């Protein structure tokens, strides 16, 4: 009996775009951006000489401030090399035609992988994780929208397929893409960021997550856990006159043979101090509870340090 197998879904080049700061617009502004995104993509892709393939796109989805679609992977050199600059020019023309409107900035992600005709699958999820990269968002947030209107991120697979193939991709260079580690939810993969016309040697490297996956926070020495009572106020110190007066008024105890009576009297306050139900009764007895044993550090209290924090708190309050 021959083994069964399923054919792999066709490889798709996945293109996704998202408008920055869409929620800050008013209703009319949102409607305008929603209406402009698809014509802008069509204009930029036509200028990139892939309009015929764009007409054959699959699983196109409009999300209000975003759009995603799949295309034949043979267009990847054009998407990586020609499309970002063409989209930048299309956004500039839109700005010139509507100077009173808010400048539109777009984030773009490009990925590739096997996907069914519905577009549902891991490559689609990874495309949106790239689009949600914090560094990509930060670039557009700190940029002048009149100058920088496009930020592109491509997966490592797309980068390697395009630049290692040697296929002509316009005039873009590999050095125009900055590699960094993308961390979004459980997704963690290297990717490449591209700003059309920007020289990355002029950029501050601190805007990106380091490629070393070791979390820097784990290299710091661990802080010693704080004792649960370290934040509680200390009891007020007794004055010498009160201490002498209470000592003088305390009756002298005569020890029974064998030390039985004296031991029981010394153990009584200790048991009351360690028991919730006896704290109130100990307070009511007044003179016998006036003088307490000196407080010891938490590490030197023996069994007392092992009690719950709530019991120790009651003891501290009774000392006042």
Distance CA 297, CA 286 (A): 26
pLDDT at 215: 41
pLDDT at 35: 94
pLDDT at 257: 45
pLDDT at 265: 46
Distance CA 304, CA 307 (A): 6
8 A C-beta contact, residue 43 and residue 150: no
Retrieve residue 292's tokens: 């307490």
Number of C-beta neighbours around residue 200 at 10 A: 15
Report pTM. Answer: 0.65
- pLDDT tens sequence for the chain (320 residues): 899 999 999 999 999 999 999 989 999 999 999 999 999 999 999 999 999 999 999 999 998 899 999 999 999 999 999 999 999 999 999 999 988 888 999 999 999 999 999 999 999 999 999 999 998 999 899 999 999 999 999 999 999 999 999 998 888 999 999 999 999 999 999 999 999 988 888 776 666 655 554 443 333 333 333 333 333 344 455 555 444 545 555 554 444 444 444 444 444 444 444 444 444 444 444 444 444 544 544 444 444 444 555 555 555 555 54
pLDDT at 271: 45
CA-CA distances (angstroms) from residue 221 to 106, 210, 216, 218?
A: 42, 21, 11, 8
Going by C-beta distance under 8 Å and a sequence separation of 6 or more, which residues neighbour residue 286?
Answer: none
pLDDT at 288: 47
Distance CA 74, CA 51 (A): 13
Distance CA 177, CA 201 (A): 11
Give the H or E element holding residue 312.
helix 309-318
Retrieve residue 129's tokens: 């994780």
pLDDT at 205: 64
Return the SS3 of 273: helix
Cα 79 from chain centroid (whole Å): 30
């Amino acid at each position: 009996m021959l083994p069964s197998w399923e054919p792999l879904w066709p490889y798709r080049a996945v293109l996704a775009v998202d408008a920055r700061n869409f929620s800050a617009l008013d209703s009319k502004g949102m409607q305008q951006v929603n209406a402009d995104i698809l014509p802008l993509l069509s204009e930029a892709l036509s200028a990139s000489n892939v309009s015929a393939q764009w007409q054959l796109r699959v699983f196109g989805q409009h999300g209000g401030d975003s759009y995603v679609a799949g295309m034949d992977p043979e267009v990847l050199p054009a998407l990586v090399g020609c499309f970002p600059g063409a989209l930048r020019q299309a956004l500039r023309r839109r700005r010139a035609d509507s100077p009173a409107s808010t400048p539109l900035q777009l984030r773009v992600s490009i990925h590739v992988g096997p996907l069914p005709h519905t577009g549902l699958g891991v490559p689609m999820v990874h495309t949106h994780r790239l689009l949600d990269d914090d560094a990509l968002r930060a670039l557009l947030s700190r940029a002048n929208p009149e100058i920088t209107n496009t930020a592109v991120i491509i997966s490592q697979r797309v980068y390697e397929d395009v630049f290692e193939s040697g296929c002509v991709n316009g005039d873009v260079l590999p050095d125009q893409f900055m590699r960094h580690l993308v961390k979004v939810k459980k997704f963690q993969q290297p990717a490449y960021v591209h700003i059309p016309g920007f020289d990355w040697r002029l950029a501050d490297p601190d805007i990106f997550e380091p490629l070393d996956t070791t979390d820097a926070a784990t290299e710091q020495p661990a802080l010693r856990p704080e004792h649960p009572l370290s934040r509680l106020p200390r009891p007020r110190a007794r004055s010498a006159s009160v201490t002498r007066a209470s000592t003088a008024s305390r009756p002298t105890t005569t020890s029974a043979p064998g030390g039985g009576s004296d031991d029981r009297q010394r153990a009584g306050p200790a048991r009351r101090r360690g028991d919730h139900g006896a704290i109130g009764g100990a307070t009511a007895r007044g003179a016998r509870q006036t003088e307490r044993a000196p407080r010891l550090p938490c590490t030197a209290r023996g069994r007392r340090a092992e009690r719950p924090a709530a019991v120790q708190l009651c003891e501290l309050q009774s000392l006042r």
